A and B are shown apart, each in its own frame.
Chain A
Amino acid sequence: MTGTGRLIRLILRRDRVLMPLWVVILGLVPAGYVASFEGLFPTAQDRLEYATVSGTNAGFVGLYGLIRGSSLGEIVAWRSGFLPIMVALFAALTVIRHTRADEEAGRTELVAAGAIGRHAQLAAALITTCAASLVLGLLLTAAMIGQDMPAEGSVLFGLELALSGCAFAAVGAVAAQLTASTRGARTIAVVTLGAAYALRVAGDVSAIGDGAVSWLSWLSPIGWATHIFPWGADDWWPVILLVLFVVLTAGLSAVLLTRRDFGGGLLPARLGPATSTMGTPLALAWRLHRGLLAGWTVGFALLGLVFGGVGGSVVDLVQENEKVGDVFARLGGADSLVDNYFAGIAGIVGLIASCYAVQAALRLRDEEQSGRAEPLLATAVPRYTWAGSHLLFSLLGPAVALLAEGLVSGLTYTDGDLGAILASTLVQLPAVWVLAALTVLLFGLVPRLSPAAWGAPALCLLILLVGQTLELDQWLLDISPFTHIPHLPGGAFSATPVITLLAVAAVLAALGLGGLRRRNIPD
């Protein structure tokens, strides 16, 4: 353990931007819910209706968990039911980033050769991440007490998020010992988190039905966290379970560490084929993109399941509460509330798909910077063909993902028109492609600024979230290509903006590819 303190300082130095960002943002998001739910549901009757509708809808229960009471605190805690997953995800990835990723990159070797104990790096990563989670919880508790919420519930709410983070920091630590590859460790941690979430969903959804498998929630650390029910049951049992889980899992990771070689993993590295029939850049691009494509498509299908499932109770909810209706009405402008709901969802889903488009297009830059593009471009592969093979996945990948979301959501929401919901999702593609093309433009003309492409979906999201609430000028709203997408279902389809967006995308991509043809590689 010698040197742990110094390594903690190193981690804090390296994460000085990222860590405060997720700690503060995730810690303060629920603080905003208090005022907004107070405004939306001023009377106890309003809250009771909202809680009853939400608590009996499988889609909502799946997404956020069970809701037992209807006090303001319980509604806020319930609505924050997805945050434990986010905190857990950040915590697990942070621990892996400072253990296995460093080890694979060879940075650990530099450090390990110094006067540093065998467990120091693991301990430093765990301590820092758990401390960050606890700070997050503390911020949340303080913000809640600051808004005159009862103290015990506020403390438990803080603990719910903090311990979710600690639990999956420990899971990340175990995952980091199992495989020699960072990617493998991340996959193990994320799949474990997904399984924990799925168990909670299955158990909770069962609980509002016949309750046959409601015990499944108790197999999942995420289930324990959400079953604290702050301000309702105010249950301390799950807290004790979580603390035990953190101690045992962190201990397990320390034991596993002593059982493996430096740089190695406990699971043997698998051998692959000795030959290959790959012979084109496209075949290679498929190998490099297929995992990403599968992940996004499955994720989008799950989104479709949730959004389609929630669709049914949107009708009930808005019929009973005018103010919620206003919220959905603000997302669009047409008549039917359900149409508005699906139009609003389509815009959000389109935005998420554009993140995939940017990520896939940025693979080009990754290939260039890692040095893998160089030997490839020294073969008879023209630059256009190489760039085109990745661009294809950046354009068609989001199309496949959106198709999956539209199909699943249309099939889940049985009262709707499948074709209309599917169309509302797919009509987002021209805007998604504009952002993909913008990434290619940066990559071709100013390669060093390529990561700035992430700013585009962020800006579009900001415009979508606050644009109409703040009544921004139309020209500001027009910056986002999503502003120009026809509002479907319900709105009128107009070909002009769609064709214009496609033309903009084509021009941006062409300029980017032209720049790529003329520039140095690597630059």
Chain B
Amino acid sequence: MIGHGGGGKLSSELVEHLFVPAFRNTALENLGDASVLPGIGGRLAFSTDSFVVRPLFFPGGSIGDLAVNGTVNDLAMSGAKPLYLSAGFILEEGFRLELLGGIVERMAAAARRAGVLIVTGDTKVVERGHGDGVYINTAGIGLIAAGVDIGPTKAHPGDVVIVSGTIGDHGMAIMSVREGLEFDTVIESDCAPLHELAARVMAAGEVHVMRDPTRGGVASSLNEIAASSRVGVWLDEPSIPVQPDVQSACDLLGMDPIYVANEGKLIAIVAAESAEPVLAAMREHELGTRAAIIGRITADHPGLLVAKTGIGGTRVIPMQLGEQLPRIC
């Protein structure tokens, strides 16, 4: 169990016996006030994110996987190769050590898979009742190769919108294990590092924007792109891939998969002539087998995301207000 204390012995024991062995690398092992990294020539991408998921372990992942992949993916979406991460832990007094151990193990495995080093970290303990077990913050640095020029303002009319696979898997995996819901099937989170897939996508064609549609789902990402690039986004709703069990769970709860979080999917907005090569490159990668072209960028209705529905109607898909709430019947 995590005891309460202002650091000192406890913290150093955690560092010595848990974090350093798990994340082992020379930069971390120096245990200085700051890690000293070799010079890396080129433009850097730098990103941070905090993770507060409940439950801590869920089908297909844990808060540890999310904490690594979340920041890796943010870096990858700017076109960078992720290199280094920091990890900050806010632990609640009384939190079980073996749970923390499990989370750290998952983080280490995720970092290995993503090819990043966790080179610096911090631990704080808060009083019981002042945290939710564990919160994790990660920040990351990545290197952007010369010539890469992607960003949320670069979508142009005529561009094609591609998603790398089924949407809504992560959010519904979390919903399905929260208290009170018992589904017959297990929905697994899609939590995964996207840097490799992103690199393939960039190599395959002219990519203007990449996003990983996490909280707020595909709808929020595309709305943000529409606003930043001052363009309209046109979606063909039936071509958006959704797993049947995710769709069923959404229907049951009155939710829309387009607003549900993903942790292992990317949206690529590419020049029209690059659409097919990028799609093919995605489908060749294990994280992109169900990639699909779902829409395009238009000069009409700038700032708006508009979808053609399955029966041929249209609807605007605005930003969602906060969390989707399951409805009554």
Asked if A pairs with B, the answer is no
